[in-house]
Amino acid sequence: MNSSFNKLLTFKTLITALIVIVFSINCLSIQRVDALSDSKQLVLDAWSLVNEGFYDPEKFDDIQWKRIRQKTLQKQIETTEEAYSAIEDMLRPLEDPYTRILRPKDYELLKSSNFGSEINGVGLQLGEDEENQIKVISTLGGSPAEEAGIVSGDFIIKVDGISSEELGLANTASKLRGEAGTKVLVEISSMSGEFREVDLERRSVDLRPVRTKRLRDDSHTIGYLRITQFSESVPQKVEEALQELKEKEVEGLILDLRNNSGGLVSSGIAVADSLLSEKPVVETKNRNGIKDAIISQKETLFDGPMVTLVNKGTASASEILAGSLQDNDRSILMGEQTYGKGLIQSLKSLGEDSGIAITVASYLTPKGNNIQGQGMTPNKFLDLPDANEYGSADDKWVRNAELYLGSLLEKEAEILLETSVSSDDEI
């Protein structure tokens, strides 16, 4: 009896062990197949990077983020292009146009615009509005888009016959870029609803992120500093420009951030550091709700009176700079309401050639103002036409800034004179 029972128990144990072994082998086989699928691994890597870094994790519960991963990986994904499309579909429920997959060409172009001084394309910097329409943030100076009369606030309706709604932000931007000498047909709608088509020839656009000059009249010498975007080299170039203006003994400074759509946030903060002494520059709010105030260093490169020019093409990192100067009473803002992009993206490599941009934080001005969707309100509004060339003799915006700085300098001179007279009387 005991012998039969022991044999039966041994047999059951063997069967159980075999089932476990077979099940384990099957699981290992599945994992091994998944591990060998580079395209699915790309999707999983993208999901993991977003899961670890996205600034609003509460959104994950709303859209069932883990279930989206599961359903995406169940799809037939055999090529890299299918993986990119699957990642785009996976990210869409986040409803954040700035968290996006960057195919190899877009990834390389974005890196070159952040680190280099030239880019091939038509010179448009794009964003999305509340209705997911592709909107022009700004045009680059001297670009084909600027020459064609495309302005901030225009909408991109079609690119080479394909609707921007179908393409989305990333693919619309991608189709506008390309080899110098090639052409692209763009359908534009103005804010007033007027439609037109423009045939743009792509070319190498010189970004020249920092430009400077000295403005002189009968009474004062004013420095003019224009920053077109915040690439890696900008803080050093700004330091050199401010030093040069200092040697020319400028009494005031006009900082021109019109149509500066941003770039590297770290570069914008570094420029603020050159103009502020031990003042808060910006507060960041990440997924944990922590606000970290970044404080400028004590030394400044220029501490004289300032005016900062902004318009509806002033966005992102340039809004951080403008907000820090305004909130610390370092400079008045003159011009138009700014664009209102208050989200910070981190750029991550994905595979060998592609990348993914992830919104990792939002930023607030030193006084706690939220820039996202609202923008910065200037101290003095300007309702004037744009000049053909910013900073030129016919630029009425710059002329208004000059007049304002001139009046400030006159007041300062009067105060110094009164103080001097009072001191003489006491003697």
Q: What is the largest CA-CA distance in the chain?
A: 125
CA 33 to CA 44: how far, in whole Å? 14
Q: Which two tokens stand for residue 319?
A: 């809004």
Q: Which two tokens stand for residue 2?
A: 């005991």
Query: Residue-wise over 251-260: b if at least 16 C-beta within 10 A, else e?
Result: bbbbbbbbbb
Q: Which two tokens stand for residue 341?
A: 């992009």
Query: Helix, strand, or coil here: 35?
Result: helix
CA 393 to CA 49: how far, in whole Å? 49
Q: Which are the contacts of 231, defined by CB distance < 8 A and separation ≥ 6?
A: 113, 114, 115, 116, 117, 207, 209, 263, 264, 267
Strands 183-189 and 100-102 turn out to be unpaired
- Cα distances from 424 to residues 224, 411, 413, 414, 421, in angstroms, run 37, 20, 17, 15, 5
- Cβ–Cβ under 8 Å, residues 170 and 104: no
- Cα distances from 170 to residues 141, 153, 173, 194, 373, in angstroms, run 22, 18, 5, 25, 20
Catalytic residues: 316, 327, 341
DSSP 8-class letter at 125: E
What are the backbone angles phi and psi of residue 391, rounded to the nearest 5°? Answer: 85, 0
What are the backbone angles phi and psi of residue 419, rounded to the nearest 5°? Answer: -65, -40
